[in-house]
Chains A and B, each alone.
Chain A
Amino acid sequence: MGGLTQTTPSGTVRPTAATVGELPMLTEAQVPFLEIETLRAREFIPASKEALSSMISEQTQDKLVRPVLNWAGRNSLFPLHWGLACCAIEFAAAFGARWDAERFGVVPRSSPRQCDLLIVNGTVTWKVAHKLIALYEQIPEPKWVIAMGNCATGGGPFRTAYSVVPGVDKLVPVDVYIAGCPPRPEALLDGILRLENLIKERRT
């Protein structure tokens, strides 16, 4: 257990800085029910790019194909219908009649295979961390992540708790952070629109 705990001179035993790799928790490999095939879409994209580039010139790709794909992608962001805590209520409100996120083409889907956006709304605990990573890996490329609320951004009010991951960007790469506890539905819509602007500038 070297390095896992340290004893202060007064005799209290405390864990050293929480290191996911060092904490003796079960990895995905040891948890038997989590045998998922992760869609390694990264292997597919170069092939299709090659096929595309052989038929269409580089310039047409940059000026025509890529903008069309970007337009299609940003106007049909499908988030995973997944909520962790209180921010999920604001997420649900944003899909109600008053704020209506679906007018932006944002339709929550139940299966990560059908999604391209993961909105992490709520406190991420160590217990759910590997499941979040599993869901993220199941979303095919191209994919984006929005960290909604203070808990997903940096642990929020529970940052120093023994059971809370201090920010979901410790687990998955995040594109947009929305601050708030909870952020209003308008703030969530603003975050989604900022993501759409990011996708507009996508070159790859």
Chain B
Amino acid sequence: MDEKAATERLRSQLSTRFPAGILAVEPFPGTLGRVRFDPALALDLFRELRDVHGFTHLGMVAGIDWVQEREVVYTLWSDERRVYLFLSTLLPADRARIESATAIWPSADWHERETWELVDIQFDHHPDLRHLLLPTGYQFHPLLRSFKLHEPEDLEVKVRNV
């Protein structure tokens, strides 16, 4: 009951502050809620959540490929309130760009590098958007639905002369 009330309170606060752009604030068990927002609102919302609502720690940035669109999910943690919050945006597949959260939470750096290299979401104004886990110059984004793993039978590897 407490959780739902807190989620409602957050919803009203955010809707007053951002009349347009907050698409939904849904309850999510174990957290303060899940805020779906419009990607244009990104930096303002992040700043508001960090400064006013106390979400000082960004735990994770992840990407999901729904074929026509791509979703970015942020996990925020508040030290003083000891509660998690999920943020979620949908980006169109042909223009998957969003502002980088590194301006607000520096820990977004590596998470956004990983999200870009796996699901091909561009983060604008990211200080250093390059491969993190995959080799430099790897041309594919493996966690997209259109990338298929090899069947063991047709996996043939030719090695160049070293």
Contact = CB atoms under 8 A, between A and B. Distances in A.
B157 A20 contact: yes
A12 B160 CA distance: 28
Nearest to B142: A162
A21 B150 CA distance: 18
Contacts of B152: 159-160
B148 A12 contact: yes
B158 interface: yes
Contact of B159 (A31, A162, A170): A170
Contacts of B147: 13-15, 162
A155 to B, nearest CB: 8
A159 B139 contact: no
B155 to A, nearest CB: 6
B134 interface: yes
A4 B157 CA distance: 13
A42 to B, nearest CB: 14
A148 interface: no
B158 A20 contact: yes
Q: Would you call the interface of chain B mostly helix, strand, loop, or mixed? A: loop
B162 A133 contact: yes
Interface stretch (A22-30, A55-63, A89-97, A183-191): A22-30
Given A14-B148, A26-B135, 16 more contacts: A12-B148, A14-B147, A15-B147, A17-B154, A18-B155, A18-B157, A20-B157, A21-B159, A24-B137, A129-B135, A160-B149, A160-B150, A160-B151, A161-B149, A166-B157, A171-B159
* Nearest 10 CB-CB pairings of A with B: A21-B160, A162-B142, A14-B148, A127-B135, A17-B156, A25-B137, A160-B149, A126-B135, A19-B158, A26-B137
Interface of B: 133-140, 142, 146-152, 154-160, 162
Interface of A: 1, 4, 12-15, 17-21, 23-26, 31, 125-127, 129, 133, 137, 159-163, 165-166, 170-171
